[in-house]
Amino acid sequence: MISYGSVTKRFRDGTVAVNNFSLSVPRGSLTVLAGSSGCGKTTLMRMVNRMVDPSEGQVAVDGQDVAGQDPVALRRRIGYVMQNSGLLPHRTVGQNIATVPRLTGMDRSAARRKAADMMDLVGLAPELANRYPAQLSGGQQQRVGVARGLAADPEILLMDEPFGAVDPLVRADLQRQLVDLHHQLGTTILFVTHDMDEALTLGDHIVLLQAGARIAQQGTPKDFVSAPASDFVRDFLGLDRGQRTLHRETAADGSVLLLDPHGRPAGVLAE
């Protein structure tokens, strides 16, 4: 469990990235912090593994204030997947994935086996283990990033817009896989994105942030679509533009089709 208690982050130049923010992230949830760039969502995420320390308030993991913990030990037990994969370009795929196990003292051959297991878990072909990151596609790099984040069997996985830079088809596939992995492993995942579609696809709990990390609304994807709390939320979801409106149409055989705003069938209504 991650909890934020009245957290404020003021940077040296005086900008307030996060203003009096409180939130509980339940254990085992896939919580999405959504919002446009500059709303403080990445800053919030980085407080969990002490990449950023709050100016006021505290962040606790499993009830323990992280401020009192060794940042290095903390980081090694919290997985982190970043934008553009953040792979170490001078390490092979296998070495990248095995980084944290090796840092925590696992011997070379055990770490190699662990890396192979993780590659299997995220659907990477074993022969990629000896490639360098620059030799992989964007989608493969992100898979390696996820495998590396999970390699130390962390209870918490932080993901900072991990799928932002890959093309839509690959992204959809990575998202589907992440949901599967989450069900399979039960890891608490804190996921940052500016893409509301991604938030609705992934999150079992969504926190939509405005400037200064003010919570515009939090709840399940259904809550957002059925009961948006404000105009800001409606706008961010694209509800006013009719982007999520489906129209009912009865087909010749009597089945009920749902049409998207462009009149294309989104699916068939099951009664």
Partner 1 sequence: MRWILDNLPLIADRLWAHVATSLPAIVLALLISLPLGWLAHRYRPLNGPLLTGAGLMYALPSLPLFIVLPVLIGTGVRDAVNVVVALTLYGVALMVRSVADGLDGIPPEARNAATALGYRPLRRFLAVDLPLAGPVILSGLRVVAVSTVSLCTVGAVLGIPSLGMLFTDGFQRGILAQILTGIVLTVALALALDRLLVLAGRLLMPWARTPSRRAVRRSHRPGRSDQTDQTDQTDQAGQSVMPS
Q: In the bound complex, what is the minimum distance in angstroms from residue 78's beta carbon to partner 1?
A: 9
Cα–Cα distance measured from residue 255 to residue 2, given in angstroms and rounded to the nearest whole number:
46
* H helical segments located in the chain: 41-48, 71-76, 93-97, 99-103, 108-121, 138-150, 168-185, 196-202, 221-226, 231-237
C-alpha distance across the termini of the chain, in Å: 38
Q: In the bound complex, what is the minimum distance in angstroms from residue 239's beta carbon to partner 1?
A: 18
SS (H, E, C) 212-228: HHEEEEEECHHHHHHCC
Residue 25 has a CB neighbour count (10 Å cut-off) of 21
- Cβ closest to partner 1, residue 143 vs residue 205: 143
Cα–Cα distance measured from residue 192 to residue 189, given in angstroms and rounded to the nearest whole number:
10
Give the pairing type, strands 2-10 and 16-25: antiparallel
**Per rule CB under 8 A, count of chain residues that contact partner 1:** 45
Instruction: Look at residues 27, 25, 21, 26 and name the one whose alpha carbon lies nearest to residue 5.
Output: 21
- Residue 31 engages partner 1 in binding (rule: CB under 8 A): no
- Cβ closest to partner 1, residue 134 vs residue 252: 134
Site string for partner 1, 111-150 (x = CB under 8 A): ------------xxx--x---x-xxxx-xx--x----x--
Cα–Cα distance measured from residue 64 to residue 40, given in angstroms and rounded to the nearest whole number:
23
Return the residues of window 156-175 that contact partner 1 according to CB under 8 A.
167, 169-170, 172-173, 175
Site string for partner 1, 58-97 (x = CB under 8 A): --------------xxxxx---x-xxx-xxxxxxx-----
Q: In the bound complex, what is the minimum distance in angstroms from residue 88's beta carbon to partner 1?
A: 6
Return the residues of window 176-205 that contact partner 1 according to CB under 8 A.
176-177, 201
* Interface with partner 1 (CB under 8 A): 49, 51, 72-76, 80, 82-84, 86-92, 99-100, 103-104, 123-125, 128, 132, 134-137, 139-140, 143, 148, 167, 169-170, 172-173, 175-177, 201, 267
